[in-house]
Amino acid sequence: MKLVTAIIQPDKLDDVREALIAAEITRITVSRVSGHGRSVNQDLYRGQVVAPNLLPKVRLDIACNDAFVEIAVEAILQAARHNGGRIGDGKIFITHLEECIRIRTGERGGDAI
Amino acid sequence: MIFLAFAALFPVYAQSPAPCAVDSGATAWMLTSTAFVLLMIPGLAMFYGGLVRTKNVLGTMMHSFAAMAIVGVLWVVCGYAMSFGPNTLGGWIGWKKEYFFLSGIDTTILSAHVPEYVFAMFQGKFAMITPALIAGAFAERVSFRGYCLFITLWSLLVYNPLCHWVWASDGFLFKLGTIDFAGGTVVHIAAGVSGLTAALYLGARRGYPKTAMNPSNLVMTLMGAGLLWVGWFGFNAGSSVSSGLDTARALAVTQVAAATGAAMWMVIEALQHNKATSLGIVSGILAGLVVITPAAGVVQPAGAMALAAVASLVCYASIQIKNRMGYDDSLDVFGIHGVAGLLGALFLSFFIRPAWMAEAADKAGGSWTAWQQLAVQSAGVGLTILYSGLLSLGLVVLVEKTVGFRLESKLESAGMDSSLHGEQGYGLINLS
């Protein structure tokens, strides 16, 4: 089991969700986060361009069995890029997932995902 | 002939030869009403903004604010002249050179003893809110540029002529005797029908109805509805252009109708789902307020309650039908404003106060029945539907083919806030 964590641009959330659902990955957790990578965001406020320090991003957490890791990664890669790839499109982290427990039944392991 | 009773309420430029004195009481109320109606537009922005998804909240609120900006300018330049000038082009619009840029009304006091500036500004607020209402039908999926062009053309070619027909003292619907106290036809039916036309032509939002499209902030929607209710006292009671008995009557029935509509919607939802929702109660408030708008000058409180209760029932049903049919009138502009406006403009005929009917009978030379009034109302309503529907379709097609109206799919899924305005509405919840 692996935990796929993706940090993406907020405006790509719909596209990534649609791509994941098309790849039959529906069990995900989404949160709003702030962070900083290499991108410099520019917002317009009353006509003045402002570059804030921390930028809003969306974080997806997907726990999946090993067979689904590449499918999930491929779907995110295809959907989260702006015009074929741009600084600020985000990152994907894959970590080993030690255990997974379904609270309702107490099931453990791959079946619980 | 029955319009004479009503003509006293809209003494637009029927000025007496001798200069009128300013009635400070009436003027003070009309100034207040003007401010109230303006307040409805940010109220509407909050109402609509709370109902759309987080990524579109600014884009949606901008539709209301852009109407304040664009129509606010157009009205002074030529809108007032087109609406309230004497008949031109066979009565299609009005025109008076002195109203161009409001240049000739610097010293004018109307026969209602109110400076004409006040009346012109008061009417201008109605012209602003009407295009802003339409925006709810195609929320979350139009380009800002296209929207700006659309409301410019709509205001000039649809609103101003309709306003002239119904409210100018030589407008032909006014002469026919169609009762529209504060804008059931001009504002609500016109906005509802135009919105429906645009929604059908532009198509549904991406993913509708399969994807859930949750309101971003119902708290804001409730506050917006509250502001609309308050503002509506200016909208309806201000439409008496006086500060007296007619004003009091309009204010009382407006209050009663809003409360009844809200209570009725709660009951319907409690029976249907065992839960009264906050969106339901504000929908009921709006249905009640819209239905009483054309009728506020002629019905009594019991009639207002009957109209509002029926309006909530029928609006509720029409939204269920919309959901079955699957077209995307996103924020139910037709379902609430169109339907309730229609109901109010037609069925007010059966609730008119006896004194008014007696007076109408005298003028008609014997008898005047509710059915005769219904026929007159139907003529006004039918014409409004046809005119606003056909012209809006033409304008939507024109805008779509020229600057583009429907937002391209990529920008739509990214959200209007960032793709059209370069901002975020709810950015503050993020640490930055």
Average pLDDT over residues B277-287: 97
φ and ψ at residue B382, rounded to 5 degrees: -60, -45
Of A85, A66, A67, give the one whose Cα is nearest residue A12: A85
For B105-130, what is the mean pLDDT?
95
Q: How much of chain B, in percent, has pLDDT values that exceed 70? A: 94
Q: Tell me whether residues B424 and A56 touch, CB distance under 8 A.
A: yes
A55-64: strand order across its sheet: A29-35, A55-64, A2-8, A90-96
- The band of B99, judged by pLDDT with boundaries at 50, 70 and 90, is very high
Give the pLDDT mean for B238-245: 94
B424 touches chain A (CB under 8 A): yes
**Under CATH, which architecture does the B25-419 domain have?**
Orthogonal Bundle (1.10)
Q: Is the Cβ of B96 closer than 8 Å to some Cβ of chain A? A: no
Looking at residue B210, its pLDDT comes to 84
- Contacts of B75-81 with C-beta under 8 Å, sequence gap 24+, read B75/B120, B75/B123, B75/B124, B75/B127, B75/B128, B75/B155, B76/B101, B76/B102, B76/B120, B76/B124, B77/B101, B78/B156, B79/B124, B79/B127, B79/B155, B79/B156, B79/B159, B79/B160, B80/B120, B80/B123, B80/B124
What integer pLDDT is reported at residue B230 of this predicted model?
Answer: 97
Helix (H) or strand (E) holding A32: strand A29-35
Q: Is B427 on the interface with A (CB under 8 A)?
A: yes
The residue-averaged pLDDT of B311-332 equals 94
Half-sphere exposure (Cβ direction) of B297: Cα atoms closer than 13 Å: 24
- Which of B226, B180, B168, B206 is CA-nearest to residue B50? B226
Contacts of A44 in chain B (CB under 8 A): 421-423
**8 Å CB contact of A54 and B421:** no
How far is the alpha carbon of B324 from chain A, nearest alpha carbon, in Å? 25
The residue type at A56 = P
Cα dihedral value B54, B59, B64, B70, nearest 10: 170
* Domain locations along chain B: 25-419
Radius of gyration of chain B (CA): 21
Q: Select from A14, A32, A44 the Cβ nearest to the Cβ of B423.
A: A44
Reply yes or no on whether the pLDDT at B1 is more than 50.
Answer: no
pLDDT attached to residue B4: 43
Share in percent of chain A as helix, strand, coil (round to 5): 30, 35, 35
Of A39-43, B1-5, B52-56, B164-168, the range with the lowest mean pLDDT is B1-5
Distance (Å, whole) CA B360 – CA B411: 56
Q: Tell me how far apart the alpha carbons of residues A63 and A4 are, in angstroms, rounded to a whole number.
A: 6
Chain B residue at shortest CA distance from A15: B413
pLDDT at B399: 97
Q: What is the pLDDT of residue A98?
A: 94
Residue B430: the pLDDT is: 58
d(CA B331, CA B132): 12
Pick B224 or A86 by higher pLDDT: B224
Task: With cut-offs at 50, 70 and 90, classify the pLDDT of residue B311.
Answer: very high
Query: What is the pLDDT at residue B207?
Result: 87
Query: What is the arithmetic mean of pLDDT over B96-119?
Result: 94
Task: Quickly state the pLDDT bin for B8 (edges 50, 70, 90).
Answer: very low
Using DSSP's 3-state secondary structure scheme, residue B286 falls into helix
**A-chain residue closest to B212, CA distance:** A14
Q: Identify the pLDDT of residue A59.
A: 95
Question: Is A33 within 8 Å of B430 when comparing Cβ atoms?
Answer: yes
What pLDDT digit, counting tens, does each position of B388-415 carry? 999 999 999 999 999 999 999 989 988 9
pLDDT at B220: 97
Residues of A within an 8 Å Cβ radius of B: 10-12, 14-15, 32-34, 42-45, 52-56
> Could you tell me if B164 lies within 8 Å of chain A, comparing CB atoms?
no
Tokens, residue B51: 């109902």
Residue B218 has pLDDT above 90, yes or no: yes
Find all residues with CB under 8 Å of B358, minimum gap 6, and list them.
none
Of the listed ranges A31-35, B90-94, B120-124, B272-276, the least confidently predicted one is A31-35
Q: Is the pLDDT of residue B18 over 80?
A: no
> Measured between beta carbons, which residues in chain B are less than 8 angstroms from residue A53?
432
Average pLDDT, integer, range A32-50: 73
Q: Which residues fall within 8 angstroms of residue B113, CB to CB, at 6 or more apart?
A: B20, B21, B22, B23, B26, B27
- Give me the CATH topology for the region A2-112: Alpha-Beta Plaits (3.30.70)
Percent of chain A's residues with pLDDT above 90: 63
Chain A hits for B413, Cβ within 8 Å: 11, 14-15
Percent of chain A with pLDDT over 70: 90
Comparing A113 with B113, the larger pLDDT belongs to: B113
A11/B430 touch (CB, cutoff 8 Å), yes or no:
no
The yes-or-no verdict on residue B246 having pLDDT over 90 is yes
Structural domain boundaries in chain A: 2-112
> For B170-194, what is the mean pLDDT?
93
Closest by Cβ to B429, choosing from A32, A53, A54? A32
For B109, residues 6+ apart whose C-beta sits below 8 A from its C-beta are B15, B19, B20, B21, B22, B115, B116
For chain B, the residue count is 432
pLDDT of residue B15: 47
What residues are paired with A6 via a beta bridge?
A60, A92
Q: DSSP labels for B351-391? A: SB-HHHHHHHHHHHTS---HHHHHHHHHHHHHHHHHHHHHH
Does any CB of chain A come closer than 8 Å to the CB of residue B42? no
pLDDT score for A35 = 84
Segment A15-19 shows an average pLDDT of 92
Residue B5 has pLDDT above 70, yes or no: no
Confidence at residue B432, expressed as pLDDT on a 0 to 100 scale: 45
Q: Which residue of B has its CA nearest to A46?
A: B423
Give pLDDT, residue A34. 85
